[in-house]
A and B are shown apart, each in its own frame.
Chain A
């Protein structure tokens, strides 16, 4: 895998679909693109069957723009809404059986490191809250305890969206859903706490109503996973179908939920801070000068 895999075999370019040609000629491969430039280059995400106005779709779109090296990135997903889009992008996608995604990603990451030890390959898991916190719970936690170097992103719509509205561990207490008619009986699971306890080097919560912040946390999480250890992002990506949010109010809902109970949080180990500041110039993680510390 390298920049070459996205190029045409000489002489075949003219037979390729327009979308493919645009991707090779004006895609983000080998360039630095940012969320503020969308609309001026060809994004790697193609058309897909996720619902109109779905916040999860927006998040996946932004995440794919933010991959630091898309030509060296592999995504891993599983059953659930998100894979309908994640699989329709110009980066390799591996489908793990429902709940197996972090186990599959562990093997994949290790294999890639044996095969391409000299060049980093970024493995990014994106899966739903049900796939990650319920059915795949053991594999998720084990990959973290084992310090597997890849990024785990929970697309947290607080419901099993793809199968019509069952509660998940990430649904809020008392929430009534189509298939939880009496309301959920226990609290939303603290996956952030578990990510920290099990040794993730970077943990963040984010809501897609702030596209530049999504970009920033994805970049950091992927870079930290390259060298330091596992990273976890938990993204609120509402399901407008199961939570009956009108599509033109999805961002209003995101804003309200962000203010009420899904605030931006970021946890980063000292080692990860040092790595980001030394290698990638993240000044905010440089140690504060002694004088400035005293003044505080």
Chain B
């Protein structure tokens, strides 16, 4: 098994700084959902990771901890992470994107 990045929506949505999205070396990997966290009263959405594209470098963790100072990203084992975003379940909209969460090992559901 291997490590991938996982973003805690509630911590991220509190500031939605969009820093890590600009620093991940991989394209189309850290995505941004303008509506994430709205059910909990957050207004500006949150970042999330399409884990099938994540190479586990943890650069986003460094950026979130040291530049943004929000500590919203943790590296987790792919089989321990629970339901998460995968590229095949991502939908792009007008200036946002969203994903139906699925189990990265077993697939949807």
Residues of A within 8 A of B (CB): 18-19, 22, 25-26, 35-47, 50, 52-55, 57-58, 61-62, 64, 209, 211-212, 247-252
- Complex Cα distance, B63 from A250, in Å, reads 10
Inter-subunit contact B97/A39 (CB<8 Å): yes
- Complex Cα distance, B88 from A26, in Å, reads 15
Query: A246 — nearest CB in chain B belongs to which residue?
Result: B58
Inter-subunit contact B27/A46 (CB<8 Å): yes
A-B contact pairs, 13 of them (CB 8 A): A18-B88, A39-B32, A39-B97, A40-B32, A41-B92, A52-B56, A53-B58, A55-B25, A58-B59, A64-B27, A248-B58, A251-B23, A251-B63
- A53 in complex: contacting residue of B25, B28, B31, CB < 8 Å: B25
- The residues of A that contact B43 with a CB separation of less than 8 Å are none
Residues of B within 8 A of A (CB): 18, 21-28, 30-32, 34, 47, 53, 55-59, 61-63, 66-67, 87-88, 90, 92, 95-97
- Complex Cα distance, B89 from A18, in Å, reads 10
- A61 in complex: contacting residue of B25, B63, B87, CB < 8 Å: B25
Query: B30 — nearest CB in chain A belongs to which residue?
Result: A39
- A248 in complex: contacting residue of B18, B21, B27, B61, CB < 8 Å: B61
Query: B57 — nearest CB in chain A belongs to which residue?
Result: A53
- B96 in complex: contacting residue of A22, A40, A54, CB < 8 Å: A40
CB distance from A80 to the nearest CB of B (A): 17
Query: A17 — nearest CB in chain B belongs to which residue?
Result: B88
- The residues of A that contact B61 with a CB separation of less than 8 Å are 248
Taking chain B's interface residues, is the majority helix, strand, or loop, or is none over half, making it mixed? Answer: mixed
CB distance from A250 to the nearest CB of B (A): 6
Inter-subunit contact A248/B92 (CB<8 Å): no
- The residues of B that contact A37 with a CB separation of less than 8 Å are 95
CB distance from B23 to the nearest CB of A (A): 6
- Complex Cα distance, B93 from A26, in Å, reads 8
Inter-subunit contact A36/B18 (CB<8 Å): yes
- The residues of A that contact B90 with a CB separation of less than 8 Å are 22
Inter-subunit contact B18/A57 (CB<8 Å): no
- The residues of A that contact B57 with a CB separation of less than 8 Å are 52-53, 247-248, 250
Known: A39-B31, A40-B97. A251 touches B92 (CB 8 A): no
Inter-subunit contact B58/A43 (CB<8 Å): no
- The residues of A that contact B23 with a CB separation of less than 8 Å are 58, 209, 211, 251
Q: Which 9 A-B pairs have the closest CB atoms?
A: A53-B57, A39-B32, A52-B55, A26-B92, A45-B27, A248-B58, A247-B57, A39-B21, A57-B25
Known: A35-B22, A36-B22, A52-B57. A42 touches B62 (CB 8 A): no
CB distance from B88 to the nearest CB of A (A): 6
- The residues of B that contact A50 with a CB separation of less than 8 Å are 25
- The residues of B that contact A58 with a CB separation of less than 8 Å are 23-25, 59
Inter-subunit contact B87/A18 (CB<8 Å): yes
CB distance from B21 to the nearest CB of A (A): 4
Query: A215 — nearest CB in chain B belongs to which residue?
Result: B22
- Complex Cα distance, B25 from A127, in Å, reads 18
Inter-subunit contact A248/B32 (CB<8 Å): no
Query: A33 — nearest CB in chain B belongs to which residue?
Result: B95
- The residues of A that contact B22 with a CB separation of less than 8 Å are 35-36, 38, 62, 211-212
- The residues of B that contact A25 with a CB separation of less than 8 Å are 92
- The residues of B that contact A52 with a CB separation of less than 8 Å are 25, 55-57
- The residues of A that contact B59 with a CB separation of less than 8 Å are 53, 58, 247-248, 250-251
A53, A211, A212, A249: residue with the most chain B Cβ atoms closer than 10 Å:
A53
